[in-house]
Every structure is written in C-alpha cells, then in structure tokens.
Chain A
C-alpha cells in the first residue's frame, strides 16, 4: 500500500483529567496546512480562546513532526512545538533537530496535542502503541542536561528525550525545550508552556516504519542530492566549523550586536569566533537524523574556578548573544554560558538578550548592587552573569522583573529603558543589529513570533543592494517569510537549502514523492503565505489593536547611530522605519494599519478569518488598486 509520509495517528491528551485519545490524522488537513508550523497555527486558531492565558490550562501545547520528518528525504529531522507564546501573546512555534521528530513518527504518531494542566509533574511516555503519563516527581527540579541521561538510564538508551529545566518549571517566559544533549526548541517560551502544564519531559521510542508514495523515486532523488552536495564547495568548511564561523564576518560588516546592541563592532570578536571554538572546545562533530552535514559541534568548556562542562555549541546566535552582547572575551566563557542556560532550560538567544539588558541597566545605574544581592553585573563577568541567571530562574528579588523577558523587565526598571529593550512583540532580537541592514530590521519588525532571524535573514541582500536605502527590502522580506517557514511546516532542516544550493523545486519534488501530491513551488509558497496571514490574525485577535502598533523595534533602532566600527555613524531614520512598514504592508496586501484586507484573506481561502477580524474592527481597509497578484515573488538581487 502506498503511503503519504504520515504516521496516521494524532494524539490528544488532557493533562487535567489524564485522558489520552488517539484519532486518525486527517490527510486533507495536513495537505492544507503542511503539518508542522502550519498545522500548529490552525489548531491554535481553532481551539485556543482569544483571552486564554498563555500559561494557563486553556492554551494548547502541540508537538508535530509534520509530513517529511523521518521520511527518506534529506534532513528530515525536525519536530515543531507550538502554542500561544508567553512572550508575544500571539502564535508561537519553535522547532528542533535531533531525533525526536522521527521517533514520534516511527512510534506511529504525527502530532500530540496537550491541553489542561496536570496536578503533579508528569512526563509523556510513548513506546510505540503504549502512551502513558508517568510521574515525573523525581525529575522535577533537575537541569535539562542532567535530566536527559537519567531518563535514558531509567527507560533505555533508545528512547529519545525532550526536557525542560528549572526555568520552564518556574515559568520563565523565555524557557526552551532541550533534546539530544543540546538541540533546543528555543524560541517563543515553549519550555514555560510545558512547565505551566507540569509536563517535565517527553520520552519516545518508535520502532515502526513510515510509508511514502513513491519510495523508488524518493530514494533516487535523495541519493542524487546527497551525492551532488558531497563535493559542494561549502560542505567541508561547514562540516568543520558549523555556524560559529560567521562571527568575524558579522563583526567586520558592522552587524554584530555588542553590549546590548549599543554598537555593532566587538573588539574581542576573534576570541569567540568559530576557529577558537574548534581549537579550544571541540570534542566531535554531530549530526541530526538523516543529515550528512553534521554541523553540530559537541564541545566542552574549561574555565578556572568552574566545573568542566559538556555541551553542544555555541552556534553563531549564542556566540553573539552570550558573547559580544554580554562582553565575554573567551570562547570558553561563551561555551560555559551556553551550557548554563541550556541546563537551566533558557533560550540562549533571549537569555543572552535579557542578561545584556540587565547589564546595560546596571551600567546606567538603573539597577543597583543592592538589588543584585550584593553582586555587580558587569560586562564580561561570568560570575555576575551566572548569579543574575540564578536570580531570574528562581525569581528572587528583581530576578522576577527579568523573568518575563526584556519588554516586561523594562516596564519594571523604568527610566525609559524600553528604548534599549532589544525586542519586538516581546521576543528578544537574534544576533544581528539591523541599524545598518534595513532589510534585517524589517524582518525583525514583522516577524510573526517577535524578533527572530529564522523567518527572514537579509544581510547579504542589504550589503549587495545598498545599506542606506530601504528600496526593495519589503519584497525580499516577504519572499523569505514564505520560503523559510515552509521548512518549519514540512519539518525538515532549512540549512541544506541555504548552504548547499538545493533548489525549492527539489524540495517540493521530494514532498510530492513522499505524499503523492502534485504541488508546485508556487503552491507551497502560497500555503506558507496562508499560514503567515493566519498567524497575523491570531495576533490581532488576541492583542486587539492595529497591527502596525506592534511592528516597531525599540527606539534605539532609529535614535542611536552606530557609535563605532565599520558602521560608525550609520543607522536608519524614523522615516525609513515607517517607509519599510508601508512598503511591507503594500507587498502583503495589508492596509496601512498593518491589518490584512479581506481581498488577501479570501485569496488565501481565509474568509473565515476575515469575518472574525471584521467583527472586532480589525479587518484591513480595501487596498486602492487591489492587492498584488503575487505576494512575495521569488527575488534575487542583481549582484547574486
């Protein structure tokens, strides 16, 4: 019998009652929403009351392995998690590589949807057909990296484990989920949502197989991609260094966030770059399921006065946000911070952003040594950073202020500190400063989950097309916001597309071999655009104001010119920020208020969402001259 890549069962679990129900996965639903991120968005849209507390029983928590995870296509390693984000109060999804997604499919399940709150700590146990909620009292309170081996010891090495740490248990809003000793679903506070449901961990053993529509074609297609890319020029350096090697480039091009984005050039960048990681910390390379790139780096950090710790990373983002952004000068310091936040269960990106914000508040005298329990909070001090993290994780004193992320912390610190709380929609910025990269700034401003690079990354376009102009940036951001999240829906890794010149047509071809569908790239991009518009509707319905009001970066982005380095004196103006938004909304078929118009929603088969926006007076005004026929047209700068 021919298959479609799906395992066939969706599981619903009510944590309040302990009820576990298995339902057939609807292939039509999966075709319409593409599994991972897309299916998560639709379930959130349909099932979460608009006034539900993100950390309350009515929020859902969804784990989805999508369509292509675990199938015999390259890099099918991903699993997506989603819920209303406790950071943004809008749609949130975050994914991780490793082996958990394939394990879920091999056990026979496409998705698990949790609701309610357990009365006591539990973990989800899946061993093929057996699904149980088991007591997690003995694991509660443990660090993520300490808990995973213990659960493996208790259940067996062949179980794949995902855990939260104390940060998630204590509802720190930027908590992550950890798997495979260092793979994280880091963004959108998914660890806090698990913690709010008293769900400490997920353990899965799957021993079944998956059926695809055309195994012969899929095998031939996958083999040709792997063989062709083995000799790709990027392969060897990528395998050796992973993402960490872009630190020096980012620094030399004046986009490297330094001391809470005060400047974009770090004088000590060479001390924390990828070559130092390989030289000082690397133990071995590591790959996710179905990947031949092995870009993960298993490492150790050795620092005087600290225990030697073992971790995966740091990757670029952690290198930036727990490196230059908090003033660390040595790769071992960055690796130690990486381990610390991983083990506590904090996203290293938001976590680095929150620590940096605290350090700038201390630098300016807005928080004091007394408030820090007698400690300083100086740039580059690993002891200060570690103590501050402990205050946050355990919500001691002003640690409580920072437990909600920089936006909420700024409201408590006062002194106008919101102007340098480097976030959008409550989620901290990734490791690039957008002041001299206007496309990147727009990508942060309009990202549906808050400031995150994964939805669109434009810095090479900014360089190639001119860094002082905003012209053309909206178009490329919209295109990227459709192509990049598509991977998160399909639950395959995006990096082999960016790194190894795999064309979107080849990915859709693989999708068709898996499913038996007959989709084109245009069909897939339109499906991704549908998801993007649906997540916008969720945001508007929950936050009840014009979308434009939520799309601004902190005022530092236009008020402060870059003070040093290659970008000295550069920066966008407020007028350019407004122009970026105007161009972006026009490219999307949204009105000037940043609200989707009925015409665009109906073109995407989202008339039900238009009706709901109309009821709360947030449906976009009709677009003079009509909406663009194609939003997010494939775009390639002339220089490329």
Chain B
C-alpha cells in the first residue's frame, strides 16, 4: 500500500518530503501499523506529539489504509 506522511515544523525535514514541501510518499506492506512504518523509515517517535488521521488522533497501533494521509504533529511549547 501507499501512504502519504505529512509534517511541518521540526518534523518536516525529518520525514524527508518528496511529494511536496510537507509530504512524503511511503510504500509499505499491507497491515503494518503506523508505529512499524515509522520505524521502517527511521523516524524518531520521541519527536512526534501525536498522529492525526482524517480528523482523529490515532496511536501507533493504528493500521492505515491504502492512500491515506497520516499527519505527524510535532510538539511545541505553549499555553
């Protein structure tokens, strides 16, 4: 399957965008969880605040569908 990883801030360069400024195309085996996919492409999970898919927060065990866009939110200070 193919998923699109999107990230801004400190995560943007870490994901190595190749589709547009914020997006990387990743081919992964069907059935892999997001956590496994991120491990496969060597993205440091400690720098990800949360994962956002189609308006919902998902954890690393979420299994994406072919063609889905997965947004990685970096942490920020605040409030």
Contacts and interface: CB of A to CB of B under 8 A. Distances in A.
B49 interface: yes
A140 B52 CA distance: 46
B77 A498 contact: yes
For A314, A431, A459, A640, which residue has the most chain B Cβ atoms within 10 angstroms?
A640
Contact of A237 (B13, B50, B77, B79): B50
Nearest to A231: B22
A431 B77 CA distance: 9
Nearest to A252: B46
Contacts of B78: 242-243, 246, 315-317, 495, 498
Contacts of B47: 460, 463-464, 639
Contacts of B22: 232-233
The size class of the interface chain A forms with chain B is 35 or more
A499 B10 CA distance: 9
A318 B9 CA distance: 24
Interface string B3-16: 00011111011100
Interface in A205-259: 232-234, 236-238, 240-246, 248-250, 253
Contact of A639 (B6, B8, B14): B14
Contacts of B77: 316, 432, 453-454, 457, 459, 498
Interface residues of B, number: 27
Contacts of A240: 55
Contacts of B6: 233
Contact of B71 (A237, A248, A463, A639): A237
Contacts of A490: none
Contact of B76 (A232, A275, A318, A498): A498
A237 B52 contact: yes
A242 B55 CA distance: 14
A75 interface: no
A332 B47 CA distance: 29
Contact of B50 (A249, A253, A313, A314): A249
Interface in A497-552: 498-501
A232 B8 contact: yes
B55 A236 contact: yes
A498 B12 CA distance: 13
A313 B78 CA distance: 12
Give the interface centre of B22, B52, B79 by most chain A CB atoms within 10 Å.
B79
Nearest to B20: A231
Most chain A CB inside 10 Å of its own CB: which residue of B7, B46, B48, B77? B77
Contacts of B75: 246, 249-250, 459-460
A319 interface: yes
Contacts of B57: 237, 241, 245, 275
A282 to B, nearest CB: 14
Contact of A501 (B8, B48, B50, B52): B8
Nearest to A278: B57
A238 B74 CA distance: 10
Main secondary structure of the interface of A (DSSP, over half): helix
B9 A244 contact: no
Contacts of B14: 639-640
Interface string B36-79: 00000000101111101001010000000000000111111111
B46 A463 contact: yes
A253 B75 CA distance: 11
Contacts of B50: 237, 245, 248-249
Given A237-B71, A315-B78, A316-B78, A245 B49 contact: yes
Contacts of A498: 9, 76-78
Contacts of A501: 8-9, 12
A458 to B, nearest CB: 9
Given A244-B79, A246-B78, A640 B46 contact: no
Contacts of A318: 79
A246 B71 contact: no
B11 to A, nearest CB: 8
A243 B17 CA distance: 25
Q: Which of B13, B44, B76 has the most CB of A within 10 A?
A: B76
Contacts of A237: 50, 52, 57, 71, 73
Given A232-B22, A463-B47, A495 B76 contact: yes
A499 B46 CA distance: 18
B79 A234 contact: no
B44 to A, nearest CB: 7
Name, among A237, A238, A244, the residue most crowded by chain B CB atoms within 10 Å (CB to CB). Answer: A237
A316 B79 contact: yes
Contact of B13 (A246, A454, A459, A640): A640
Nearest to B23: A233
Interface in A440-471: 453-454, 457, 459-460, 463-464
Interface in A467-491: none
24 contacts: A232-B8, A233-B73, A236-B71, A238-B73, A242-B79, A243-B76, A245-B57, A246-B75, A249-B48, A250-B75, A275-B57, A313-B79, A453-B77, A454-B77, A459-B75, A460-B74, A463-B46, A464-B10, A464-B44, A495-B78, A498-B77, A498-B78, A640-B10, A640-B13
Given A242-B78, A463-B44, 20 more contacts: A233-B8, A233-B72, A237-B52, A237-B73, A243-B78, A243-B79, A245-B73, A249-B48, A314-B79, A315-B79, A457-B77, A459-B75, A460-B74, A495-B78, A498-B76, A499-B8, A499-B76, A501-B9, A639-B14, A640-B14
Interface of B: 6-10, 12-14, 22, 44, 46-50, 52, 55, 57, 71-79
